[in-house]
Structure 1
Amino acid sequence: MKRWMCACRRGHRSTMKIAIINTGGTISCVGTPLGPMSAQAFAKACKTLIDETIIVQDYPNTELHYAVDVKFPESSTGTLDSTNLQPTDWCIIASYILDHYADFDGWVVLHGTDSMDFTGTALPFLLSAFNDRGVTTAQLSKPVIITGSQLPMFHQGPNEKEPSALAYNTDAFQNFCGAIAAAQSGIPEVCIYFQNELYRGNRVLKTNASEFNAFSSPNYPSLGEYGIQFEILFENILPPPVSNSVSLDDATARNSAIQQLNYVAANINNFPVMQFNAFPAWYAFNDSTKTCSGLIANLLNACVASGIKGLILESYGEGNFPSGNPDNPSGGAAYQALAAANAGGVVIVDCTQVIAGVVNDNAYAAGAWLPAVGALNPADMTPMAAFAKLMILLTTAGYRKWTAAHVKTLMQTNLLGEMMSVNKLDSRVNPLLLANQTLAALDGSATLSNDPVAGPVLRDSTGTQLWAAMSPAPPANQLPGRLIMQNDGNLVFYSRYNAPMWATNTGVSTGASSMLVLSGSAGKPADLALLVYDYDHNAVTKTLYQQK
């Protein structure tokens, strides 16, 4: 396994400037009962009790800056327990980072644990910009590390006006130090550091309320770990911006992200999204009279009437949700409530309440009806990630002039590592399609498979072959093979002996980071396309199949 050692321990820079943004949470609480310190009081305690005596020992070339001017207007102290954080507060954090992007090498965001998994998705989306293909036009190039703790950092006695010591035997100081180390790593992601593990921020769940290992990443491996030394598992990390022109280091790209964020901050409250758990509840139906009712339907109707724009279902198992009529789903009250919501413009996403695994709503009849009411499949995205992603996409649509179809496509597309890639190979992230592996159209109407006896073949949902890379099929002794989207822009199929057997011949010597994308639908509208897209130069370089 390949690893990176933390650069801060090897003296690769003379000075690393790290900004500490204290939003509140347990880590900066004191007193009985616990209450959040102001950012100024926390900064003073850190400088007095930690920076000069401890931090300088391990990080002599690190300069910490405490951002005491980040304040949340809801609170008299300017800091908040994360229970009370609103979507507009995500924008306050992101705005500080963008406004001071050129001043620092990384950021540590101190945050309460209750809603940290929501913020872990919101920040990367607020710090990025995309076109309607999901290709990045402004991208983070420096680490943003969110951390917190289960117990407070400092001890303050009942008669003391300010903290007098580090609290004994807590996770706070260790998480603080680990986050500072991660913030110096150069990882171009928003991450969460907790209990010696570094996770992708949009992949985590809070899974333990009473132990120090509060967070886990059920569907994606950790990005790093802190043992004797801090080590980064670089094969799990997102690649940096494809060029300087789309990096937030570039003033033009950063300004575009700032303008988008300003729009989102002003409008995000107009696009509320809610989560809705499947649960055992009463329902009744009469097929002969075509009448139906049910508690879940009543609640869904009430939610839609309140003005929600997005609905994250937390279904059972692989995506099963009670329709209100087991034998005839369309005759059920819940089905009809969701159908009415979809017709009214509410975007529905069918997540699972199970901690780990992938949604497959076609696995059971109890979930196979959901696409008929417009429910989108988020693959292995967590409900918290789906919530924050959908709210930000819905809000951004007004700024980017996206249609509802754009939003739904982007919602099911892996943009920042928040979900598995369903319909594309990316030369820098997941370039390989092995035998029997597949790409699928987002609505499931077509599949590109690496057939072990025929090579790459595109078929619709009826099994009808639409396209094949090689016809006739190559000799059996050359298969199975591998389909690779190379970083020079060439899509190549290699035999079992690593000999090239087929290629698009779209490669360029200077490099062309590219994607193989299966877009559109083989159903209605019939606009299925299989193409190679060079996102380094924003150009389609090869159309392999286009439905007419």
Structure 2
Amino acid sequence: MSKVAVIYMGGTFGCVGSPLSPLPHDQFLPKLHAVMTSHTLLDLECFPAPDIIDSSACTAKTWLRLIQLIQKLQSTQNIQKFIVIHGTDTLSYASAVLAHFLAQSCRVILTGSQYPLLNVEGNAVRHQTDALSNLCYALDHINHITAGVHLAFDAQLYHGHSAIKHHTTERSAFKGISSAEKITTPQKHHSVTDQNITRAQTLNVINLMLQPTEQANLCHFLKLMTTQAPDFLILQGFGTGNIATNADIIHQLKQLQQHNCLTILTTQVTFGEIDQRYAISQWVKEADILVSNAIGHADLYAKILKLYLTYDEIQQYRQHWADTQ
């Protein structure tokens, strides 16, 4: 039986006490291992992640360091199956980044919980918790999933780059495309280097979720942005990506391009694709911006990160936009 690496990254899953606070990993991991071995016959080994932090503090650096650990375990210990325990706040982002960078090179299930695994004292499994059921679900499926990255939550298994957190407190906190459904998944893995991690810390992405406002206000904001342009600007439009524009707004978007800022149009709606049948298509062509082909917002972030670490210029981002699947 091949070994499964269980990597712990923190989050509510490993908290104890009242109010909740994280149990140090050197105390939590032996307890976690004992719980798992009482529920499965899998050959398991627990590892602390390079960064064990609240998931709201995670950034690209955090997930790239995690990927580095996974790739090291692959090459040095020939481990090809991984379960990652991660906080729920940015679990969908972690899942999407791992999906794009690991692709089909191994088998990974990410999971987490809305409630801690252990009781207040930290000496037994909590009576009412989704942590144990989510963990056991991941353990039960790790030998049966296809190659790639998946997210397990509330007895559901999703393609990793498709998942999104859609509820703050319910146990069924995540939605996505079922892993049983065949979809286009990232195919080319990326070996993470120290240079990648250093560069990732300079990535500047601004996400602008459009609100009903006057066009002059949007134009003014875009003009201010040119003084210190981000690497990528995400415009979240209404419905299928609709944004009311005028010549001044289009001019400012073109000015941002002159500052090596790539603008990408997406939608603030949780599920569904951008639709170019409406008047939206004409101004998009005129402004010369890209339209997202990602499944969701976390998937779009992961695509952007991979582009940024592979290329340097906006022309290269455009040329290789379709290559990041």
The partner residue of 1:310 within 226, 232, 236 is: 232
Write the distance in 1 (CA, Å) between the matches of 2:255 and 2:184.
39
SS at match of 1:236: coil
The partner residue of 1:96 within 62, 69, 88 is: 69
1:240 to 1:372, Cα distance in 2 relative to 1, 3 A: closer
1:337-389 deviations in Å (ceiling 9; x for gaps): 322112322111111111122102x3332563123222212235212211221
Report sequence identity in percent: 23
Q: How far does residue 266 in structure 1 lie from its aligned partner after superposition?
A: 1.8
Q: How far does residue 318 in structure 1 lie from its aligned partner after superposition?
A: 1.1
- Name the aligned partner's letter for residue 410 of structure 1: H
Q: How far does residue 239 in structure 1 lie from its aligned partner after superposition?
A: 8.5
1:281 to 1:28, Cα distance in 2 relative to 1, 3 A: same
Write the distance in 2 (CA, Å) between the matches of 1:18 and 1:378.
35
Matched, 1:115 2:71: no
Which stretches in structure 1 are left out of the alignment for 5+ residues? 1-14, 73-78, 128-138, 158-162, 224-232, 249-256, 284-292, 324-328, 416-548
Number of residue-to-residue matches in the alignment: 323
Matched, 1:83 2:47: no
Matched, 1:378 2:292: yes
Contact 1:146 1:193 survives alignment (8 Å): yes
Residue 36 of structure 2 corresponds to 51
Residue 208 of structure 1 corresponds to 167
Write the distance in 2 (CA, Å) between the matches of 1:101 and 1:304.
44
Q: How far does residue 125 in structure 1 lie from its aligned partner after superposition?
A: 2.4
- Name the aligned partner's letter for residue 397 of structure 1: Y
Q: Could you say what the CA RMSD is over the residues aligned between the two structures, in angstroms?
A: 2.4
Structure 1 stretches (4+) deviating beyond 6 angstroms? Answer: 237-241
Residue 267 of structure 2 corresponds to 352
Instruction: Flag the structure with higher strand content.
Output: 1
Which stretches in structure 2 are left out of the alignment for 5+ residues? none
Residue 236 of structure 1 corresponds to 182
1:387 to 1:173, Cα distance in 2 relative to 1, 3 A: same
Q: How far does residue 202 in structure 1 lie from its aligned partner after superposition?
A: 0.7
SS at match of 2:292: coil
1:300 to 1:112, Cα distance in 2 relative to 1, 3 A: farther
The partner residue of 1:273 within 199, 205, 220 is: 205
Write the distance in 2 (CA, Å) between the matches of 1:153 and 1:196.
16
Point out the structure with max Rg over C-alpha.
1
Write the distance in 1 (CA, Å) between the matches of 2:126 and 2:281.
50
Q: How far does residue 411 in structure 1 lie from its aligned partner after superposition?
A: 2.4
Write the distance in 2 (CA, Å) between the matches of 1:364 and 1:237.
26
Q: How far does residue 263 in structure 1 lie from its aligned partner after superposition?
A: 2.7
Q: How far does residue 413 in structure 1 lie from its aligned partner after superposition?
A: 4.9
Q: How far does residue 37 in structure 1 lie from its aligned partner after superposition?
A: 2.4
Q: How far does residue 188 in structure 1 lie from its aligned partner after superposition?
A: 1.1
The partner residue of 1:341 within 238, 242, 256 is: 256
Contact 1:143 1:185 survives alignment (8 Å): no
Residue 18 of structure 1 corresponds to 4
1:215 to 1:51, Cα distance in 2 relative to 1, 3 A: closer
Contact 1:274 1:387 survives alignment (8 Å): no
Write the distance in 1 (CA, Å) between the matches of 2:26 and 2:220.
48
Matched, 1:30 2:4: no
- Name the aligned partner's letter for residue 236 of structure 1: K
Residue 526 of structure 1 corresponds to none
Write the distance in 2 (CA, Å) between the matches of 1:397 and 1:368.
28
Write the distance in 2 (CA, Å) between the matches of 1:169 and 1:83.
24
1:349 to 1:238, Cα distance in 2 relative to 1, 3 A: closer
SS at match of 2:320: helix
1:186 to 1:216, Cα distance in 2 relative to 1, 3 A: closer
Residue 63 of structure 1 corresponds to 43
1:26 to 1:300, Cα distance in 2 relative to 1, 3 A: farther
Q: How far does residue 312 in structure 1 lie from its aligned partner after superposition?
A: 1.5
Instruction: Flag the structure with higher helix content.
Output: 2
The partner residue of 1:152 within 86, 93, 116 is: 116
The partner residue of 2:320 within 398, 403, 410 is: 410
SS at match of 1:211: coil
Write the distance in 1 (CA, Å) between the matches of 2:24 and 2:320.
39
Write the distance in 1 (CA, Å) between the matches of 2:231 and 2:173.
31
